[in-house]
Amino acid sequence: MVDKLTTDIGGDSAGPVPQEDRDQLFWEKQMIAAFNLLQVKGVVVTDEFRRTVEEMPADYYANSTFYGRRLDGMVRLLIEKGVIDADTIEARTREILESGTRDHV
Amino acid sequence: MSEAEPSYAVGDRVRILDIGKPGHVRTPTYIRHKVGTIERFCGMFENPEDKAYGRWGLPPIPLYRVQLKQDDIWPDYDGAPGDVLEIEIYDHWLAPAGETT
Amino acid sequence: MSDHDHDHDDHAPTREDDDLELTEGEARFLALKSLLIEGGVMTADEIRARMEFNERGSPHQAARMIARAWVDPDYKARMLADTKSAAAELGIEATEAALVTIENTPERHNMVVCTLCSCYPRSLLGEPPAFYVSKAYRSRAVREPRKVLREFGVDIPDAVDIAVHDSNADLRYVIMPMRPQGTEGMSEEELAALITRDSVVGCALPVEPA
């Protein structure tokens, strides 16, 4: 018996299903489009991406949002594959946050 | 590359296995060890358990939809006796259920 | 607050969240995007084009197909046999490897969940709603579907069986709801307006005609 994957939650008990919906934000749409391209171009494979989400620590997964963990999983996978560098994306993220504007990207 | 042949036909009784494989798999734990019926053969698909680690997942493997009675999955199921669950299971996660089920 | 007179990308969809604070998540994505573009992995134009393509995936696509199936038995047979080709007939380009249509009947109501992640027929329904990707729905739909449906205001009598479909591997599922009574004279377009996103996931019934 192998430990249950963090994503393997079918049949678990849980509270009420959230009924309120929300529209995707612009950057979330952009992100999905960029991720689609990564797949179409063969840079990543869906199952690799799922695996990186499954490898997240259980408490991180439990507290993550849908788009948040997608971004996180993809960043981890692209670092693993050497497409991007961990320090570079961290530094770039800080830079953008400090500038507080979307306009320079 | 030669392809595996489907081992099961529609209507066959099958048991879903727990093959004890660590890492990325698509057979959730809640359905393992349960018995159901082959509802349809879905076709041949690349093996996600390989694709998750940068391999091609070839040759393709047979995928089926297995129908199970909810009462056979959850001992305390609260619903109608005819309620069912259907799920996609790859060939190597299945075994014949035997005649006594 | 920022003003809106600066020059945005041409042809970009409206920046509807332009007046929201920049979050850590968005900043991280923008960092990633700039690195992917600088690295030559993709271009900004490609991202824009893909966004426009993705915008076509909306519940209206599934609704068009189901409305056609309600009025045209031959189309319905083709949709049940090969959903992807049936989509193509209506000019819908489905990117899913395999699509399956499951028909609700007076004897059986169907609903879909992806317990392991968020598999969803995006070409026909767009991005999944918040409830579909919630851990509560993913956890409970397979174990207590009737209770979950009641939370959606859908009460399926015990005389009707429920089939839950765990979309856990390669197939993506479209539920074809039953055509409501009292819709005999309605056009395909009017019928399509009755078919909601949630009814195609099996968490709602079609809108009753006024």
Q: What CATH number is given to the structural domain containing C101? A: 3.90.330.10
pLDDT tens, residue by residue, A60-99: 988 888 999 999 999 999 999 999 999 999 999 999 999 9
**Subunits adjacent to chain C (3 or more Cβ pairs under 8 Å):** A, B
Could A10 and C142 be called an inter-chain contact, meaning their C-beta atoms sit closer than 8 Å?
Answer: yes
Helices (H) and strands (E) in chain B, counts: 2, 5
- Interface check for B24 against chain A (CB to CB < 8 A): the answer is yes
Catalytic-residue membership of C118: yes
Q: Are C182 and C127 in a shared domain?
A: yes
What is the Cα gyration radius of chain B?
A: 14
Q: What CA–CA distances, in Å, run from B25 to A42, C6, C191?
A: 21, 48, 41
- What is the count of structural domains for chain C? 2
Distance CA C42, CA A30 (A): 13
Q: Which of B87, B90, B93 to mutate to test the interface with C (most CBs of C within 10 A)?
A: B87
pLDDT tens, residue by residue, C127-164: 999 999 999 999 999 999 999 999 999 999 999 999 99
pLDDT of the residue at B85: 98
Q: What is the DSSP letter of A14?
A: -
Q: How many CB pairs under 8 A join B and C?
A: 75
- Catalytic residue, candidates C119, C167, C199, C203: C119
Catalytic-residue membership of C203: no
CATH class of A26-99: mainly alpha
In this structure, the strands spanning B94-96 and B13-16 are: antiparallel
- Interface check for A96 against chain C (CB to CB < 8 A): the answer is yes
| Enclosing domain of residue C38 | 24-55
Beta bridge partners of C174: C101
Beta bridge partners of B89: B64
pLDDT tens, residue by residue, B2-51: 566 899 999 999 999 999 999 999 999 999 999 999 999 999 999 999 99
- Domains in chain B and their CATH numbers? 13-96 (2.30.30.50)
**Subunits adjacent to chain B (3 or more Cβ pairs under 8 Å):** A, C
Distance CA C191, CA C193 (A): 5
Of the three residues C5, C39, C55, the one that is the final residue of a domain is C55
Q: Are C117 and C169 in a shared domain?
A: yes
pLDDT tens, residue by residue, C28-44: 999 999 999 999 999 99
pLDDT of the residue at C17: 62
Q: Is residue C15 part of a domain?
A: no
Distance CA C101, CA A19 (A): 25
